Amino acid sequence: METLDKIQERKNNKTAINNNRERTQKANVQAEYTEPNRQVKRNTEANKQKCVEELATTEEKLVRVVNMKQQCDTVKKLVGIYSKPERPVENKEDKTVIETGEQTNTWLEHFEEQLNWPAPSNLLAGYQSSTHMVD
Q: Where are the beta strands (DSSP E) in 16-103?
A: 89-90, 96-97
Tell me: the pLDDT tens digits for 9-44?
Answer: 888 888 888 888 788 888 888 888 888 888 888 988
Q: Which has the higher per-residue pLDDT, 69 or 128?
A: 69
pLDDT at 62 over 80: no
pTM over 0.85: no
- The closest alpha carbon to 133, from 107, 98, 94, belongs to 107
Q: In this predicted model, what pLDDT tens digit does every residue of 87-110 receive, in sequence order?
A: 777 877 888 877 777 877 887 787
pLDDT at site 122: 60
What is the band of 134 on the pLDDT scale with cuts at 50, 70, 90?
Answer: very low
Greatest Cα pair distance, the chain, in angstroms, is 80
> How many angstroms separate the CA atoms of 39 and 73, rounded?
32
The whole-number pLDDT of residue 81 equals 66
